[in-house]
Amino acid sequence: MTKSVRGYVGGIVGLGSLAAYWVFAASAPVSMPLLRAAICFATLTALCELLAYKKAARSESGSIAFLPMLASVVVAPHWITIACLALAAVVVEANRNRHAPIKGLFNLA
């Protein structure tokens, strides 16, 4: 990896961390319905990502994992949702040994 790619990924990680902290600071206390929604959407996201499909005649894959992520922003906009989605992303990236760790960090951010 070049220095500029590492700098770019570092910037994305920093901005993602700042955004997560901003949501944490602005959120109300955690309630049980929000926690259940966050866990449900994180589980759906991980499942969709693990069931990614291969595109024809290419080494690429696609998934619909963005759909539960977007739905979680509307249904349960809370810091606990971000934490659950991040945990789901870590589980999925740990399951994939196909690419460099910096790619997994970028996907997480």
- Given a cut of 70, is residue 87 above it in pLDDT? yes
Q: How far apart are CA 17 and CA 40, in angstroms?
A: 23
Q: Tens digit of pLDDT for each residue in 11-61?
A: 999 999 999 899 999 988 999 999 999 999 999 999 998 888 877 767 777
Q: What is the pLDDT of residue 57?
A: 67
The pTM assigned to this predicted structure is 0.83
Of 79, 9, 71, nearest to 40 (Cα)? 71
